[in-house]
Amino acid sequence: MEKEKEVTQEQLLKAARKSGFAGGITTGLVIGAILICTSYIASQLTPSKASTTVFDSTKETSGQVIDDDVVRKLKLLEESIDKYYLEDAEAEKVENSLYKGLVEGLGDPYSTYYSKEELEEVYDSTEGIYYGIGAYISLDETTGGGKITKVMPDTPAEEAGIHDNDIIVAVDGENVLGMTLNEIVSKVKGPENTQVMLTLYREGESDYLEIPVTRMKIESPTVTYEMYENGIAYIQITEFDSVTTDQFKEKLNQAKTEGMKGLILDLRDNPGGNLSDVVDISGEILPKGLVVYTEDRDGKRKEYSCDGKNEIQVPMVVLVNGNSASASEILAGAIKDYEKGTILGTTTFGKGIVQRIFGFSDGSAIKLTVSHYYTPKGNDIHGVGIEPDETLEFDYDKYLEDQSDNQLERAKEILMKQQ
Whether 62 sits among the annotated catalytic residues: the reply is no
Q: Are 355 and 368 in contact (CB under 8 A)?
A: yes
Residue 273 DSSP label: B
Nearest to 184 by CA among 204, 200, 162, 161: 200
Q: What are the backbone angles phi and psi of residue 378, rounded to the nearest 5°? A: 85, 20
List, in sequence order, every beta strand (DSSP E) within 307-363: 316-320, 342-345, 353-359
Neighbours of 108 (CB within 10 A): 15
Q: Which of 187, 351, 367, 412 is catalytic?
A: 351
Whether 351 sits among the annotated catalytic residues: the reply is yes
Q: How far apart are CA 353 and CA 92, in angstroms?
A: 31
| Burial status of residue 208 (CB atoms within 10 A of its CB: 0-12, 13-18, 19 or more) | middle
Measured in whole angstroms, the distance separating CA 267 from the mean position of its chain's CA atoms is 14
Whether 280 sits among the annotated catalytic residues: the reply is no
Q: Which of 282, 326, 328, 371 is catalytic?
A: 326
Q: Are strands 195-201 and 167-171 parallel, antiparallel or unpaired?
A: antiparallel
Q: Which of 337, 367, 371, 412 is catalytic?
A: 337
N- to C-terminal Cα distance for the chain?
Answer: 67
3-state helix, strand and coil shares in percent for the chain, rounded to the nearest 5: 35, 25, 40
Q: What are the backbone angles phi and psi of residue 59, rounded to the nearest 5°? A: -125, 125
Strand partners, 248: none
Q: Are 309 and 383 in contact (CB under 8 A)?
A: no
Neighbours of 26 (CB within 10 A): 18
Three-class SS state of 384? coil
Residue 194 DSSP label: -
Q: What are the backbone angles phi and psi of residue 125, rounded to the nearest 5°? A: -65, -35
Three-class SS state of 181? helix
Q: How far apart are CA 297 and CA 300, in angstroms?
A: 7
Q: How far apart are CA 227 and CA 252, in angstroms?
A: 11
Active-site positions read 326, 337, 351
